[in-house]
Chain A
Amino acid sequence: MKKKQVLVACGAGIATSTVVNGAIEDMAKENNLKVDLVQIKISEVGSYEETADLLVTTAMTKKEYPFPVINARSFLTGIGTDDTKKQILEELKK
């Protein structure tokens, strides 16, 4: 299976994406999945349109992308984290 490229984006690429990045890293390890995680600012997503398989973000996305987008606020608030993890896993296993 091809290694999936997952974009992790927040407004500044400093705080929240760091936390989300860490959570996905742990998830991938637990499930023995190889993932190419790229941590960026939401404004940089456009330049990955050709290569990315999934976008996980805490920021608002106004644009349509050719790959699925998952909202990751739950990793910060603790509300609904299991659902978000399930969604991400489903995409990674596709």
Chain B
Amino acid sequence: MKELFFDESIILLNVAAESKQEILKKMSTNLVEKGLVKPSFIHAILEREEEFATGLPTEGCSVAIPHTDIEHVVHKTISIGILKEPVEFGVMGDDSETTPVKIVFLLAMDEAHSQLSLLQKLMQLFQNQETLKYLYGESSRTNIKNFVKEKLDLSQI
């Protein structure tokens, strides 16, 4: 099993976007340019978000965890996008509601039904208000990288 790719180049700070489509395009295009996902990933992510929204209102700020089928992924990674101004995402499992999302965790997984502990740690990460506040206020991508790596227990990479 390949390790998760995670470094500064897939952490985008202070991203200006008017809509969920715009932020999703920016983040997935970045992954395409890095060769981590196939070009088809961009369309697949946008389409999936329309069909199954991934916005999550948490105790802190709202987050979104867009993801799509494994066939579009070359190398497993989690890209983090922190928005300059929140954009509205549909709420997961609820067609009628939207939520202002500040932080996007774009998941590119290359295996279905796996990575339980990694995903659990990721969920714990955004269930913690202090963590979200830190991510939103931090201006160094290296600091964010080290912080998330520690939280997700990625030290082996």
Contacts and interface: CB of A to CB of B under 8 A. Distances in A.
Nearest to B95: A60
A47 interface: no
Nearest to B56: A77
Interface residues of A, number: 26
Contact of B52 (A21, A39, A42): A42
Interface string B34-56: 00000000000000100111101
Contacts of B69: 12, 14
Contacts of A73: 56, 91-94
A11 B109 CA distance: 14
B119 interface: yes
B139 to A, nearest CB: 27
Contacts of A42: 52
A39 B113 contact: yes
A14 B70 contact: yes
Interface stretch (B6-14, B23-31, B57-65): B57-65
A6 to B, nearest CB: 15
Given A12-B68, A15-B67, A77-B58, A58 B93 contact: yes
Interface of A: 10-19, 21-22, 39, 42, 57-60, 71-73, 75-79
30 contacts: A11-B52, A12-B67, A12-B68, A13-B112, A13-B113, A14-B67, A14-B70, A14-B109, A14-B113, A15-B67, A15-B107, A15-B119, A17-B113, A18-B113, A18-B114, A19-B119, A19-B120, A21-B113, A22-B116, A57-B93, A59-B92, A59-B93, A60-B53, A60-B93, A60-B95, A72-B93, A73-B94, A75-B123, A76-B92, A77-B57
Given A18-B119, A59-B52, A78-B123, 20 more contacts: A11-B52, A13-B113, A14-B70, A14-B113, A15-B107, A19-B119, A19-B120, A21-B113, A22-B116, A22-B120, A58-B92, A60-B52, A60-B53, A60-B94, A72-B93, A73-B92, A76-B56, A76-B65, A77-B56, A78-B58
